[in-house]
Amino acid sequence: MAELAQARVSRLRHAALLYAGPGEFAVGVVRFVETAAQAGDPVLVACAGPGLDLLRPRLLGHGGVTWIDMRGIGVNPARLIDAISLFGRQHHGRAIWCVHEPAGCTSDS
């Protein structure tokens, strides 16, 4: 995932972060967000409540992060697609970075 995070490309890239527990999840996401912040790009982080609770304190200094609680979106993938699409339109012409954790999977499991 780090290689994709550092590659500035104009087309969609999708990567998975495999992690063994909350610590690995947090480290991977924080690295991704920090890379986006260094590039000056906005980031959308969509996780269920426990994931947000884990990440927010670690990313307090990164003002370009937009947070979405996946519990509000639910398990319907169309709602996430709509949220990402809206985020992209709000930052039209800029590279956007997105992290999402499916509503049925939480970093504490």
Q: What is the three-class DSSP state of 33?
A: helix
> Cα separation of 66 and 73, whole Å?
15
* Total-model pTM: 0.79
Instruction: Identify the pLDDT of residue 55.
Output: 95
Q: How many CA atoms lie within 13 A of 70 on its CB side?
A: 24
Mean pLDDT, each 10-residue run in order, the chain (109 residues)? 52 78 94 90 91 92 87 81 91 89 57
CA 12 to chain centroid: 14
